[in-house]
């Protein structure tokens, strides 16, 4: 049975299969991507920027076909798939436009006799291990800065995304990138371990589960390879007070339900001040219950299926564990009967630490709402998680909101707004949510050789 295959999660239908690479093919890819690096590193920054602009153009021109592929692979609605591709275009354009300046030499004041500066140089081939939930976006935020730097890319995509993986490789080649500078590989986990060990590979970037990140980081550490890890999240959405509760409720619901709740930085835990808790729960439950799930190609559907049968089983087990221990289901709470990996839009309250839902990431359309008595309780509950990706803080007192932001153990905080993003804004977290940053000016500095150069005085 093939590891790489497309199974439509909306129907359970097996559509296509792709052979896992042979060890010989992996060896050939390693030789090629290293040879490609020796050439690509000598290209000019302007030429790399022009190539990235052509990549952006091709994503724009092929958006409808690309969107249909990921809807079929992982169940994203057509509208959300097109939105993802629009973001991808922004990322490639950002690094095309800003990359040369971001990689410019940085002069250093020095007491030595001469002139010193740091040059941001390429390091070599980088392995990217990417997930299924945003098949194009996750690759863009890894590939765009690395190719701009002059590194080359080996891409190991999620097994359920072979068609989108092949389409991305084709786009780079059609844009004029040398064929050995970006290579897609349908590798097994055992082959990934060998790739990380290979001395020609200079770093590893992983977006995925905590389990995957831990395994890759352990292997990379054995071989002294740098890693960037973008892992799970259980992001808090804190509401202390507001003059417009319906607006905040709507933003909270959207923050949870984007991509069917399958986003590492989705708001998952809603921490609400006692004074507004009852009203928030009533309104929030009504809005969540109004979301519809079904055929992801139907424009009237809010979200499609979860990514796979296994994903819906895992979520159902977490919810049923909570219910069996006393959690209250305000709406939803179970998978949808019939074919496909569908789960009802759901709200849980009265979740306590003995339940899996208190500590584990809920990767699907399930929100958990908590009541807190004061700011101290809100901050303590927000930080009572192994994760530390992002957070939202709603508070009329902006100074207090900023103070809370400083006290949160997260990599990102949004004040009086749901978590968002942009090509220019760094993305990443702390604790079990990973290490390193992607996007923005910090994302281009992860896999660079910050080389000191010194010349004597004349």
> Residues 388-414: pLDDT tens digits?
999 999 999 999 999 999 999 999 999
Same topology for domains 4-231+433-456 and 235-422, yes or no? Answer: no
The number of C-alpha atoms within 13 Å of 453 and in the hemisphere containing its C-beta is 11
327 phi, psi to nearest 5 deg: -65, 150
- Nearest Cα to Cα of residue 45 among 118, 125, 119, 99: 99
How far, in Å, CA of 143 to CA of 201, rounded? 15
- Nearest Cα to Cα of residue 315 among 267, 255, 369, 356: 356
* 114-121 and 106-108 beta bridge pairing: antiparallel
Q: Delimit the domains of the chain by residue range.
A: 4-231+433-456, 235-422
pLDDT at 2: 77
Q: 458 pLDDT exceeds 80?
A: no
Strands (E), 261-310: 267-273
pLDDT at 1: 55
**3-state class (DSSP) for residue 38:** helix
Q: How would DSSP label each residue in 100-142? A: HHHTS-EEE--SSSEEEEEEEE---EEEEE--SSSTTHHHHHH
Q: How many CB atoms lie within 10 A of CB 298?
A: 13
How far, in Å, CA of 203 to CA of 234, rounded? 27
How far, in Å, CA of 397 to CA of 22, rounded? 60
CB 155 within 8 A of CB 168: yes
Percent above pLDDT 70 for the chain: 100
Fold classification of 4-231+433-456 is Aldehyde Dehydrogenase; Chain A, domain 1 (3.40.605)
What is the DSSP secondary structure assignment for residue 261, as one 8-state letter? G
Fold classification of 235-422 is Aldehyde Dehydrogenase; Chain A, domain 2 (3.40.309)
Strands (E), 133-234: 152-156, 182-184, 203-207, 226-230
Q: If phi over 0 gives left and psi between -120 and 50 gives alpha, with beta otherwise, what is residue 452?
A: beta
Distances in Å between the Cα of 32 and the Cα atoms of 24, 127, 162, 178 are 12, 13, 21, 11
pLDDT 10s digits, 279-325: 999 999 999 999 999 999 999 999 999 999 999 999 999 999 999 99
**Per-residue confidence band for 457, with pLDDT thresholds at 50, 70 and 90:** confident
Q: How would DSSP label each residue in 342-408? A: -B--EEEES--TTSHHHHS---SSEEEEEEESSHHHHHHHHH-SSEESEEEEE-S-HHHHHHHHHHS
Q: Which two tokens stand for residue 249?
A: 């409720």
How far, in Å, CA of 450 to CA of 123, rounded? 10
pLDDT at 237: 98
Question: How many helices (H) does the chain have, and how many strands (E)?
Answer: 15, 20
Residues taking part in catalysis: 230, 264
How far, in Å, CA of 348 to CA of 366, rounded? 7
Q: Which two tokens stand for residue 418?
A: 């749901």
Q: Which two tokens stand for residue 1?
A: 């049975």
Average pLDDT over residues 221-243: 97
Distances in Å between the Cα of 362 and the Cα atoms of 70, 160, 306 are 22, 20, 12
CB 262 within 8 A of CB 136: no
pLDDT 10s digits, 94-145: 999 999 999 999 999 988 889 999 999 999 999 999 999 999 999 999 999 9
- Nearest Cα to Cα of residue 390 among 447, 437, 346: 437
Percent above pLDDT 90 for the chain: 98
Distances in Å between the Cα of 20 and the Cα atoms of 24, 40, 184, 191 are 11, 27, 12, 10
How far, in Å, CA of 392 to CA of 417, rounded? 6
Distances in Å between the Cα of 421 and the Cα atoms of 4, 90, 254, 264, 438 are 30, 11, 14, 13, 11
Summary mean pLDDT of the chain:
97
pLDDT at 201: 98
pLDDT 10s digits, 345-378: 999 999 999 999 999 999 999 999 999 999 999 9
Q: 34 pLDDT exceeds 80?
A: yes
């Amino acid at each position: 049975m093939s590891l790489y295959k497309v199974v439509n999660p909306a129907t359970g239908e097996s559509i296509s299969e792709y052979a896992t690479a042979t060890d010989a093919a992996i060896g050939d890819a390693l030789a090629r991507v290293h040879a490609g690096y020796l050439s690509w590193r000598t290209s000019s920054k302007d030429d790399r920027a022009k190539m990235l602009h052509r990549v952006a153009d091709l994503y724009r021109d092929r958006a409808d076909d690309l969107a249909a592929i990921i809807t079929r692979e992982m169940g994203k609605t057509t509208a959300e798939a097109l939105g993802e591709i629009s973001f991808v275009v922004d990322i490639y354009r950002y690094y095309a436009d800003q990359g040369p300046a971001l990689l410019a030499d940085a002069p250093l004041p020095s007491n030595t006799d001469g002139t010193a500066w740091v040059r941001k140089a390429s390091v070599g081939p980088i392995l990217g291990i990417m997930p299924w939930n945003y098949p194009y976006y996750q690759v863009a935020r890894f590939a765009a800065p690395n190719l701009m730097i002059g590194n080359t890319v080996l891409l190991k995509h999620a097994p359920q995304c072979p068609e989108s993986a092949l389409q991305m490789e084709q786009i780079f080649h059609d844009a004029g990138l040398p064929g050995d500078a970006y290579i897609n590989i349908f590798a097994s986990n055992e082959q990934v371990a060998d790739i990380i060990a290979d001395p020609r590979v200079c770093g590893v970037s992983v977006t995925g589960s905590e389990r995957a990140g831990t395994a890759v980081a352990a292997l990379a550490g054995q071989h002294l390879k740098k890693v960037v890890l973008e892992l799970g999240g259980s992001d808090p959405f804190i509401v202390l007070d507001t003059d417009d509760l319906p607006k905040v409720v709507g933003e909270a619901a959207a923050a949870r339900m984007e991509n069917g709740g399958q986003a590492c930085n989705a708001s998952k835990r809603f921490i609400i001040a006692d004074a507004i808790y009852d009203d928030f729960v009533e309104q929030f439950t009504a809005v969540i219950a109004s979301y519809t799930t079904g055929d992801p190609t139907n424009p009237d559907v809010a979200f499609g299926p979860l990514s796979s049968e296994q994903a819906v089983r895992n979520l159902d087990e977490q919810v049923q564990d909570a219910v069996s221990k006393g959690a209250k289901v305000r709406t939803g709470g179970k998978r949808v009967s019939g074919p496909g990996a569908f789960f009802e839009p759901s709200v849980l309250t009265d979740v306590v630490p003995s339940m899996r839902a208190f500590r584990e990431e809920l990767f699907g359309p399930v929100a958990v709402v908590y009541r807190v008595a004061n700011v101290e309780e809100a901050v303590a509950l927000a930080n009572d998680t192994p994760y530390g990706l992002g957070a939202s803080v709603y508070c009329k007192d902006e100074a207090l909101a900023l103070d809370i932001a400083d006290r949160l153990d997260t990599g990102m905080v949004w004040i009086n707004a749901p978590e968002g993003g942009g090509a220019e804004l760094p993305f990443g977290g702390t604790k079990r949510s990973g290490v390193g940053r992607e996007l923005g000016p910090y994302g281009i500095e992860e896999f660079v050789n910050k080389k000191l150069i010194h010349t004597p005085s004349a």
